[in-house]
Structure 1
Amino acid sequence: MKRIHFIVNPIAGSGKHSFTLAYLQTFFNTENYSVTIKHSAYKKHAISLTKESIAEKADIIIACGGDGTINEVASCLVNQPIILGIIPIGSGNGLASHLKISQKIADAIQTIKNQNICKVDVGCMNEHYFFSNTGIGFDAQVVKYYELSESRKLLTYVKATFKSLNTKKNNAMLIINDKTELAAPFMVFISNSNELGYNVSLTPKASLKDGLLDILIVSKIGKLKALLFGFLVLFKKQHVLKEVKTYQDKNLIIRNSENTSFQVQIDGESHLINTPTLSISILENALQVICELL
């Protein structure tokens, strides 16, 4: 009998999703499957629930939520034999989109039943894993303001974007990678997958299976150029700006010579990391996940 555990974020997306045992058993019969449902109640609760499910010898653990919930569950499964499943019910669902997992719950459950398992790369920033992307600067500020809002809609991102344009930037930040140095960047975005969500992408060529991080660096720009950058992103044309540089690498080091902490976003969740140095790398084929054919 296969043990399947569902870790559900009940306020993800619209917050109106129903994952009852009766509903799930219409897909997973009691003869072949043992189904367990757990609901997270606060940020990082899904981590302890997942560890609990690991101890209970679950075969498959399903993250039901957005990229933040998926990050919490998947972080516990890196280099583990337990398989990750995803039911995307968040606002952006960028990772699920890359994995070609439907946002229709019934279709996502069918994908889990089909059990096409692939191994994907995992990003690592110091002791924090990321599966879709991470960043410092402008995007980290947008996520911070987004989380402070009670709404979880695309318009909320737009409002957070404009508010972030008025946030004072750190003028003593240095980006160091081999010979690359940059003071006071507008943003540094490091991606493992090719979509942020809402069909928006800063790194359209990124892949979960190429063993590389896709890195986008935007040097210091004013508000008007920042607005132009945002407009170009909608059409995946941000590279036409001379302030935008992109490259691929397995490692990246970011140092802050002024402060001893970084405001970052990790898979769309805001974090304050108390260190003057960020060491970012890629772990190849470190996670088993159920997906459609990649």
Structure 2
Amino acid sequence: MKIKFIINPVAGKGKALGIKDNILNKLINSSVSFSLTETAAPGDGIRLAKKAVIEKYDIIVAVGGDGTVNEVINGMVGSNAALGIIPAGTGNDFAKSLNIPADIDKALDVLLHGKEEKIDIGKACGKYFMNVASIGFDAKVIEQVNTIKKYISGTWSYIIAVFKTLLNYKPIKVRVSMDGMIIDKEVFLIAIANGKYYGGGMMIAPHAHVNDGYLDICIISKISKLKVATLFPTIFKGKHIHQPEVECFKAKKVEVFAKGASINCDGELIGKSPTTFQIENIKLNVMVG
């Protein structure tokens, strides 16, 4: 078995870089053939994953957060290699959706002794995504997170960003087409999910499954700031879906028309609306416990 580790050295305020010792200690005396490479700039994860596919690695491991995982996936979709994840970033939400342990040694055990599972992959703006894409409030929050996470990592970076964004945020007018059904309204946010979690542990799509062939869509209508304050804490346990302002759907293809609205995809801003989100026909192999 050949394993390629692609490490984002700045993920989780340097946590990913510190994991190198865990990997070496775990594998140095094993029969596994492995190599470690660090990313140095945005896009390196894609390039290194493509190279690992050509070099016929069996497992290509993203060591970092959801952004790192997203890049690695974009470099290996369509190959026979399996994705591995060592959670070491700010959010690690996709790893949570796959029940990959946060403990590094246990996550390494999943790579060595786990099983391959085929999962769905979404696409938007010409890029693949594995977890959650969104439009509206969330995209504005990501702009804040990108600044805050330089100083504070984990869930707190998202919580602080949420409240900073809330001060000046205005709902957006959208038209949403989901497998032919059309909705016109003002919304607080729209999340298009493959995984259950995003934003550092918020269960935005409690009914989502990474292998059911569908995207889960969560639409939160225009709400007051006071309502946001009461709704926000319920998202961590997926209880928000019971509120009258929240609608949930499943679809294979979602078109969102919201002039000039930014699009967040797996924690990164990737473009502007109008945009089409869809489940791809191809599957990705992932190592799970």
Taking structure 2 as the reference length, the TM-score comes to 0.90
Aligned to 2:214: 212
How far residue 289 of structure 1 moved from its aligned partner, in angstroms, is 0.7
Aligned to 1:99: 98
Which residue identity is paired with 1:43?
P
How far residue 227 of structure 1 moved from its aligned partner, in angstroms, is 1.5
Aligned to 1:165: 166
Which residue identity is paired with 1:263?
S
Q: In structure 1, what is the Cα distance between the partners aligned to 2:144 and 2:200?
A: 18
Q: In structure 1, what is the Cα distance between the partners aligned to 2:280 and 2:65?
A: 22
Q: Which has the higher helix share?
A: 2
Residue correspondence of structure 1 range 71-110 to structure 2 within 5 A: 71-110=70-109
Secondary structure (helix, strand or coil) at the match of 2:212 reads coil
Secondary structure (helix, strand or coil) at the match of 2:70 reads helix
Tell me, yes or no, if structure 1 residue 18 matches structure 2 residue 18.
Answer: yes
Aligned to 1:51: 50
Aligned to 1:190: 192
1:255 pairs, out of 245, 254, 257, with 257
How far residue 29 of structure 1 moved from its aligned partner, in angstroms, is 5.1
How far residue 23 of structure 1 moved from its aligned partner, in angstroms, is 5.1
Aligned to 2:41: 42
Preserved CA contact (<8 Å) 1:119 1:285 = no
How far residue 78 of structure 1 moved from its aligned partner, in angstroms, is 1.5
Gaps of 5+ in 1: none
Rate the CA distance shift 1:6–1:235 in 2: closer, same or farther, 3 A: closer
Preserved CA contact (<8 Å) 1:209 1:285 = no
Q: In structure 2, what is the Cα distance between the partners aligned to 1:23 and 1:225?
A: 44
Secondary structure (helix, strand or coil) at the match of 1:140 reads helix
Preserved CA contact (<8 Å) 1:124 1:283 = yes
Per-residue CA shift, 1:238-258, capped at 9, x if unaligned? 1232221001111111113xx
Per-residue CA shift, 1:151-185, capped at 9, x if unaligned? 22322211110122133436443223323222331
Rate the CA distance shift 1:25–1:223 in 2: closer, same or farther, 3 A: closer
Aligned to 1:279: 276
Taking structure 1 as the reference length, the TM-score comes to 0.89
Aligned to 1:175: 176
How far residue 236 of structure 1 moved from its aligned partner, in angstroms, is 2.4
Greater mean deviation of Cα atoms: 73-82 or 24-33: 24-33
Preserved CA contact (<8 Å) 2:131 2:195 = yes
Per-residue CA shift, 1:92-135, capped at 9, x if unaligned? 21111121111111111111011410100111113111111110
Superposition misfits of 4+ residues, deviation over 4 angstroms: none
How far residue 8 of structure 1 moved from its aligned partner, in angstroms, is 0.4
Greater mean deviation of Cα atoms: 8-17 or 132-141: 8-17
Rate the CA distance shift 1:192–1:268 in 2: closer, same or farther, 3 A: same
How far residue 19 of structure 1 moved from its aligned partner, in angstroms, is 4.2
Tell me, yes or no, if structure 1 residue 290 matches structure 2 residue 267.
Answer: no
Q: In structure 1, what is the Cα distance between the partners aligned to 2:183 and 2:19?
A: 49
Tell me, yes or no, if structure 1 residue 265 matches structure 2 residue 267.
Answer: no
Which residue identity is paired with 2:232?
G
Q: In structure 1, what is the Cα distance between the partners aligned to 2:181 and 2:114?
A: 44
Secondary structure (helix, strand or coil) at the match of 2:26 reads coil
Rate the CA distance shift 1:58–1:242 in 2: closer, same or farther, 3 A: same
Preserved CA contact (<8 Å) 1:126 1:279 = yes
How far residue 216 of structure 1 moved from its aligned partner, in angstroms, is 0.4
Preserved CA contact (<8 Å) 2:22 2:104 = no
Rate the CA distance shift 1:250–1:230 in 2: closer, same or farther, 3 A: same
Secondary structure (helix, strand or coil) at the match of 1:186 reads strand
Aligned residues: 285
How far residue 43 of structure 1 moved from its aligned partner, in angstroms, is 2.3
Preserved CA contact (<8 Å) 2:196 2:203 = yes
Rate the CA distance shift 1:184–1:34 in 2: closer, same or farther, 3 A: same
Gaps of 5+ in 2: none
How far residue 224 of structure 1 moved from its aligned partner, in angstroms, is 1.1
Q: In structure 2, what is the Cα distance between the partners aligned to 1:194 and 1:172?
A: 25
Rate the CA distance shift 1:171–1:138 in 2: closer, same or farther, 3 A: closer
